[in-house]
A and B are shown apart, each in its own frame.
Chain A
Amino acid sequence: MSGVTLYALTGAALVGTGFFGLIAARHLLRRVLAFNLIGSGLFVYLGAAGARGGEADPVPQALIITGIVVALSASALAVGLIVALARARGRAMLPEEDVGG
């Protein structure tokens, strides 16, 4: 089992976990974390995809870096929103999902 495949599988696993969390979790912060998990998983997979045929492919690197930046800014905005929402509502949850627990 080559490193590339390992990378790919890891990525896939991360994505899967992330999606589960994204859907199952109700606390918004968990969801943001799940989102980042998915992002990281995709980037791992992309890195693996870039390693085809031995020689290094510059494009995936560029893409990954850009992607990370984008994901970071997205997370930042999301967290900011969550904080504002938690201040306004007292709980970091969407009103329609804020049942009991």
Chain B
Amino acid sequence: MTLIAGPLLPLAALVWPLLLAGLSVLPAVRHNAIRLLPLAPLPGLWLALSGVDGVTSAPDLLLGVTLALEPGGRILLGMTAVLWCIAGLAAQPMARRPNAALFAGFWCLTLAGNLGVFLARDVATFYVAFAAVSLTSWFLIVHDRTAEAFRAGRVYIVIAILGEVALLLGLILGAQAAGSLAIAEVAAAIETPAMGLLVAGFGIKAGLVPLHVWLPLAHPAAPVPGSAVLSGAIVKAGLIGLLLFLPPVSALGPILTGLGLAGAFGAAVWGLTQANPKAVLAYSTVSQMGLMVMLVAAGGATREAVPYFAMHHGLAKGALFLLVGVALISRTRWQRALCLVLGTVTAASVAGAPLTGGALSKAAVKQGLEPWASHLLSLSSVFTGLLLAWFMFRLARLEPSGTGPGWTARFLLPALLAALALLAPWALWQDWTGLEQGYPAKADSLRDAFWPVAVVVVLAPFLARWPMPTQPPGDVLSALVRLGRRIASARPRPPGKIAPQFRLPARQIAPSALEAAFGRWSNAGTVLLLLIPLILVLLLV
């Protein structure tokens, strides 16, 4: 009986963060636990970069753990690892905040789950990882212990658990249909109802409309590094789920397309009503994830390229969130200027400005997309651009709250992420599209990428001049919040009658008067004498 077969590295990539999580509760480590965070994703990063390949299986763990990595997973794994690593660095200033150890511990747990969803190749492991990433991230959200953090956390946990249940039931149905726990077979055998449950589970995580309601609350509520990983990496768990399980041709395809588009545009519009730049970013995430869901549903080469698209979005979104954190401590004009420049560049990339990583990722997914869809994609770039322009305005107006040492160091982190977002797509272009390196620089692709930006540049001043009315984050939420409140605070009710009281109606049945009548000898004697003929008769018949 082999304990572990295949390469050890994938398993190590998951176990290492867990070890660090365990380590961070030790009294000796507790006070410097935050220092461990950058180290946690390193094995995962190494796994993504190194060519380590093949299937790892640990038959004794869970229901038999199987881990493997194919291109889509690898690129997302790499992005996730990088983002977590840099976010971990960005989290260093939190070291002296209260409950740092708790934050570190759950950070590592979430990370392990997040890496796990990309590696898992059996249903049980995938479910474990998915549950880990979605439930433990609750601690990242509520870490600041503010009222709105708790509110967001409550909404999040309720919806997340609903998602878990849907996911579990879907996986069970799938596993039963496939007669196996291997994801590949489940994906091949799964039927539409089960897939519907899975889509619900994944959609919640991926912020798919209308399951996204938690996201605009939760992402801003978390500390900046938390928001970065939530919005950049963790949402991708839902995406990989769709990529793994959604059959190439599914009855759900049109629905997903519709919901995705609704999210892509609706969230972009609603985001314009947000004052808090982090909330704006959150809505941009909803919008971007909507796009990706739509692309997954489109299938074919587009679907193949979605990881490539997601990688860029993750890096860029991480950069923007970290940038908000930096802007909060930027006091000098230079610092603020640098922030705005970096923000604009990254935003432009997300909007798909020519020659940026964003443009490449959009170009990559556009091939194999029907014309109407690719036009919609370009149109969505306009909305994204406007939303991010609005984000830049809000960022520019952001009042620096605290100061912190090492502004430069902290500025370099989003800068690094932004650079990766801009350049990494170039590096991977040929592997992922099979087109020659020069393609993005071609005239028509430039034009294709340019006109949305142009429109944005034209419209942005109007947006700045006449902003949309401000709205609180969270749109279709109030009903859910009430539900969440009710569930979270079980009102005391008078306990029902537990045990019936013990009352035999003996007093009615066995009155002493009757007993006394029996007791009177004359009666008893008469009965006795009457009994004789009775018995006699019975004996003779």
Contacts and interface: CB of A to CB of B under 8 A. Distances in A.
A–B contact, 8 Å CB criterion (strictly below):
yes
A62 interface: no
B529 A96 contact: no
Contacts of B526: 23
Interface string A60-101: 000000000000000000000000000000000010110000
Nearest to B525: A23
Interface in B506-541: 516, 519-522, 525-526, 529
Given A19-B529, A23-B529, A96 B522 contact: no
Contacts of B516: 96
A94 B529 contact: no
Interface residues of B, number: 8
B522 A97 contact: yes
Interface residues of A, number: 8
A24 B519 contact: no
Contacts of A26: 522
B529 A97 contact: no
Q: Is the interface of A mostly helix, strand, loop or mixed?
A: helix
A96 B525 contact: no
Contacts, number: 17
B522 A23 contact: yes
Interface in A14-31: 19, 22-24, 26
Q: Is the interface of B mostly helix, strand, loop or mixed?
A: helix
Nearest to B529: A19
B522 A94 contact: no
Contacts of A24: 522
Contacts of A97: 520-522
Nearest to A95: B519
B69 to A, nearest CB: 98
Nearest to B528: A23
A96 B516 CA distance: 8
A22 B525 contact: yes
Report which residue of A23, A24, A97 has the largest number of chain B beta carbons within 10 angstroms of its beta carbon: A23
A79 B529 CA distance: 24
A26 B525 CA distance: 12
A24 B525 CA distance: 9
Contacts of B529: 19, 23
A23 B520 CA distance: 10
A94 B523 CA distance: 14
17 contacts: A19-B525, A19-B529, A22-B525, A23-B521, A23-B522, A23-B525, A23-B526, A23-B529, A24-B522, A26-B522, A94-B521, A96-B516, A96-B519, A96-B520, A97-B520, A97-B521, A97-B522
Interface of A: 19, 22-24, 26, 94, 96-97
Closest 7 CB pairs of A and B: A23-B525, A23-B522, A96-B519, A96-B520, A23-B526, A96-B516, A97-B520
Given A19-B529, A23-B521, A23-B525, 14 more contacts: A19-B525, A22-B525, A23-B522, A23-B526, A23-B529, A24-B522, A26-B522, A94-B521, A96-B516, A96-B519, A96-B520, A97-B520, A97-B521, A97-B522
